[in-house]
Amino acid sequence: MHNAKCTCWNCPAIDLAGKVDFRACGQSGKQFDKTLDSTQETHIMAECKRRPELGLYDPMAITFQECPQWQETPYGYILKDMRVMILGIDGYLGWTLALWLGSLGCKVSGVDNYNRRNWVKERGAHTIVPISRMNQRLRAAKEILDIDIDFRQIDIYTQRERLKEFIDEVKPESIIHYAENPSPAFSMIDVEHAIEVQKNNVLGTLALLFTIRDTVPESALLKLGTMGEYGTPLTGRPLFEGIFPAEAILQWGGREWSLGGELTPRDPVSFYHVSKVQDTFNVYEACKYWWLRSFDIMQGVIFGVHTDQVAADPRLRTRLDIDEWFGTIINRFVAQAVIGIPLTLYGLGKQIRGFIALRDAMECMTRLICAPPEPGQYAVVNQISGIHSARQLAYTVAKIGREYFNLPVQIQRVENPRVEADEHPFEALYEKLPKRYGFKPKVTIDEEITRMFELFLTPEVKKRIEERKQVIMPKTWWSGVKKEVERLELLDLKGEIEEDERLRMFKVHR
Ligand SMILES: NC(=O)c1ccc[n+]([C@@H]2O[C@H](COP(=O)([O-])OP(=O)(O)OC[C@H]3O[C@@H](n4cnc5c(N)ncnc54)[C@H](O)[C@@H]3O)[C@@H](O)[C@H]2O)c1
């Protein structure tokens, strides 16, 4: 188990006692252990809220493996009945995670203000997989999976007091923060939308950080960032996992310095991504000032519809969008293939990104929940399971659609409405989740695409795609131009993407 050797120092169920020196934040427990003498009054002690009979004790003395409160699961030891609060629980990932964690025995609570439902409606789009209203979702979760979810309708930015009361009441041991607008294109529509996204995301997160400080500072925050924070540097510089490793060196003017431990450069690619970068600094500072502990999860693009829990009943399904604002690329390609629209590549279609399947993303989140950072630690992981170009994905969808579903799938290149390099080097590291947290991807792209075809070809979903086909083609230009993109070329599908081209473009670190 990846977290067997973690100690109470990592555990959100302890209070720290003794002379806690906030200037020492970010130091690891091991450093404390080495530098502090237990006879001195500066030594930090633990007090367990779940096992008060232990009194005051050394936080490094008990491991998760030894503690009866931490129980074995396939994803690591997890606190018995762990109290997990999901912010944004009505969303694509939030709802899926709620059912996943509920099935693992966690006590799940959550908030949402239905922003996502409203934003999608405002654009004239809809989720192609029909989803139930929240009260039906909650009833179905109880009825089908025997999961009780404590839900409140709260806006985390404008209703800070209500959120504070709820957090104070639940005392979550882990807080998953999904409650943001997730759309680059939505943030580029016009000034109102740019402001809406940045206000909602940046100020919501800032408010949350103060709330955690004042209510549950020992709770672990899992905050969602995005791989898009790093951009795609044309130098080919590797995209490290948020923080430079110890060996990274800056050379300049004949001198050199270690960059180890510093935040890596960010080059966001939309006003949405800028909001995520601002969040990164706010979370980093909060860990520094107040000894909060957080994972900043640089998540790749998610694809897919499946976990065992959401597939257990139509009322438990999670949303899935295909419009230009909220539809992610693979989900959108499969929907296009199903209704006969040639799959749209923007520009050359050689953009490369990191991806991960919905089910695998849930497993990663669970593994991280099981290994809370140390007090004051701002930890970053790149949460992806593979790297692909848009073209490669379009070929894969076309191949599966043609071979297994007998669909005449075509691919087109259209003008790129975004300001981005169509072709660029890409070297992203994603070593921590596999090496430190024991994650191995379980879902292949082909398998999940096949599953999507099966679901999208059901009469109800296919009809819902047809009903909103006019919102798939992009109209939002980063430049502010107002027009629909034009087709540049219909691709000849006989030429498969050459293997050597792929190898030239990416280096994969595992
Ligand atoms: N889906 C992806 O491919 C992807 C990739 C990288 C990062 N992310 C990040 O993961 C998170 C979740 O993404 P998602 O795809 O589930 O998005 P989503 O829009 O489906 O879920 C977000 C949920 O948060 C709610 N919300 C938004 N603002 C809120 C507020 N102020 N108060 C309360 N609730 C609020 C929305 O109503 C929605 O239900 C986002 O932060 C997103 O940026 C997603």
| pLDDT of 18 | 72
The number of angstroms, rounded, from the C-alpha of 83 to the middle of its chain's C-alpha atoms is 20
Which of helix, strand or coil describes residue 73? strand
Beta sheet of 386-389, edge-to-edge order: 301-303, 352-357, 386-389
Helical H runs in 44-114?
Answer: 92-103
Cβ–ligand 1 distance for 179 under 6 Å, the answer yes
Cβ–ligand 1 distance for 279 under 6 Å, the answer no
Cβ–ligand 1 distance for 417 under 6 Å, the answer no
Residue 464's nearest CA partner among 127, 216, 192, 197 is: 127
| pLDDT of 502 | 44
Q: How far is the CA of 181 from the centre of ligand 1 (A)?
A: 5
Which two tokens mark 443?
């879902």
Give the residue, out of 151, 157, 178, with the most ligand 1 atoms within 8 A of its beta carbon, to mutate for a pocket test.
178
| pLDDT of 30 | 52
Which two tokens mark 445?
């792209």
Q: Using the atom order of ligand 1, give the atom closest to the CA of residue 93.
A: 16
Cβ–ligand 1 distance for 155 under 6 Å, the answer yes
Cβ–ligand 1 distance for 474 under 6 Å, the answer no
| pLDDT of 40 | 53
Cβ–ligand 1 distance for 376 under 6 Å, the answer no
Which two tokens mark 174?
């882990």
d(CA 97, CA 75): 14
In degrees, to the nearest 5, what angle opens at C-alpha 39 toward C-alphas 59 and 371? Answer: 15
| pLDDT of 504 | 39
Could you give all domains of the chain from N- to C-terminal order, each with its CATH number?
1-72 (no CATH), 81-505 (3.40.50.720)
Residue 208's nearest CA partner among 172, 252, 255, 235 is: 172
Give the residue, out of 85, 89, 93, with the most ligand 1 atoms within 8 A of its beta carbon, to mutate for a pocket test.
93
Give the residue, out of 99, 115, 283, 303, with the most ligand 1 atoms within 8 A of its beta carbon, to mutate for a pocket test.
115
The residues annotated with a catalytic role in the active site are 226, 272, 276
Q: Using the atom order of ligand 1, give the atom closest to the CA of residue 157.
A: 31
Q: How far is the CA of 354 from the centre of ligand 1 (A)?
A: 18
d(CA 504, CA 479): 31
d(CA 373, CA 171): 18
Distances (CA, A) of 281 to 177, 263, 264, 292, 430: 15, 9, 11, 13, 21
Q: pLDDT in tens for each of the 510 residues of the chain?
A: 999 999 999 999 999 877 665 544 444 455 555 445 555 555 789 999 999 999 999 999 999 999 999 999 999 999 999 999 999 999 999 999 999 999 999 999 999 999 999 999 999 999 999 999 999 999 999 999 999 999 999 999 999 999 999 999 999 999 999 999 999 999 999 999 999 999 999 999 999 999 999 999 999 999 999 999 999 999 999 999 999 999 999 999 999 999 999 999 999 999 999 999 999 999 999 999 999 999 999 999 999 999 999 999 999 999 999 999 999 999 999 999 999 999 999 999 999 999 999 999 999 999 999 999 999 999 999 999 999 999 999 999 999 999 999 999 999 999 999 999 989 999 999 999 999 999 999 999 999 999 999 999 999 999 999 999 999 999 999 999 999 999 999 998 765 544 434 443 444 333
378-383 and 411-414 beta bridge pairing: unpaired
Distances (CA, A) of 94 to 101, 110, 113, 240, 262: 10, 9, 13, 26, 30
d(CA 309, CA 59): 36
Cβ–ligand 1 distance for 328 under 6 Å, the answer yes
Distances (CA, A) of 298 to 34, 231, 473: 32, 12, 27
**pTM metric for this prediction:** 0.95
Residue 94's nearest CA partner among 325, 307, 327, 294 is: 307
Contacts of 2 (CB under 8 A, 6+ apart): 76, 367, 370, 371, 436, 437, 438
Taking 3-state DSSP, the helix, strand and coil percentages for the chain, each rounded to the nearest 5, stand at 40, 20, 40
Q: Using the atom order of ligand 1, give the atom closest to the CA of residue 156.
A: 32
Checking phi first, is residue 340 left (phi over 0); if not, alpha (psi -120 to 50) or beta? left
Which of helix, strand or coil describes residue 366? helix
Q: Using the atom order of ligand 1, give the atom closest to the CA of residue 114.
A: 37
Q: What is the DSSP string of 270-327?
A: SHHHHHHHHHHHHHHHHHHHH--EEEEEEE-EEE----TTGGG-GGGPPP---STTT-
